[in-house]
Amino acid sequence: METEGRVAVLRLTRPEKRNALDTATILAVERFFSAPPDGVGAVVLAAEGPHFCAGLDLSDLTETSTWESVRHSLMWHRVFDRIEAGPLPVVAALHGAVIGGGLELAASAHIRVAEESTFYALPEGQRGLFVGGGGSVRLPRLIGASRMTDMMLTGRVLDAAEGQAAGLSHYLVGPGDGLAKAVALAEKIAQNAPVSNFAVLSALPRIAEAAPEQGYLLESLMSAVAAGSEDAQARMRAFLEGKAGKVTR
């Protein structure tokens, strides 16, 4: 892990295993997000080597009991929930293989930047398995249950352009440009008012899943909380005084 200003870059460091996720790696990710460095306003999730993550290290599931497999899956849920539902915006820098559990990890980030080398797959069906890291919850929200069904039943692999069109990435960049783009986005995000970032990460997902009348109420309450903060007041004064940039193309 290294920091660049208010951005922390957390890397998967098992390139010899295509950054396959074993228990030690998952728990290391949990430790970071449980106690991120002071002053950090956003995180970039990256990886060493030619691949982001080739999924679960299958040696973790060798000859395990059903109950042990359940506990293993719940551990992944706990850690990935800490990423998705935590206080820090997370930008994933994707390249090469983003497969199985690697795709589940990427889906727990809030923004995804993919290089042209990126490819996505869910090969669990061909291995006699089912997703266990929250993929059946997060991925249908991104690409729809029908497209996920296709990937799991047939082993279909999506290239970077197909993944972008399907909704797996937000930005598609050239070879070697993913990390720089992810860091630039994270730096921009870290400059936002903390209460605004909190509202986007914590309130927006709940509003999106709520019944409309509940969503509207929660939106009103969150809007009032955000607008009433000292930070927001200062930013609005700066805008009205012509000291803040306007939105342009």
Q: Which residue numbers are catalytic?
A: 104, 124
Instruction: Supply φ then ψ for residue 114, to 5 degrees.
Output: -115, 135
Structure tokens at 34: 């449980």
Q: What's the sign of the alpha-carbon dihedral 33, 134, 205, 215?
A: negative
Pair 63, 75: CB distance under 8 Å:
no
Burial class (CB in 10 A: 0-12, 13-18, 19+), 129: middle
In the block, which residue shows the tokens 């040696």? 59
Closest CA to 46 of 75, 7, 84, 82: 7
Question: 148-170 burial, b if ≥16 CB within 10 A, otherwise e?
Answer: beebbeeeeebebeebbebebbe
Closest CA to 48 of 90, 19, 80, 81: 19
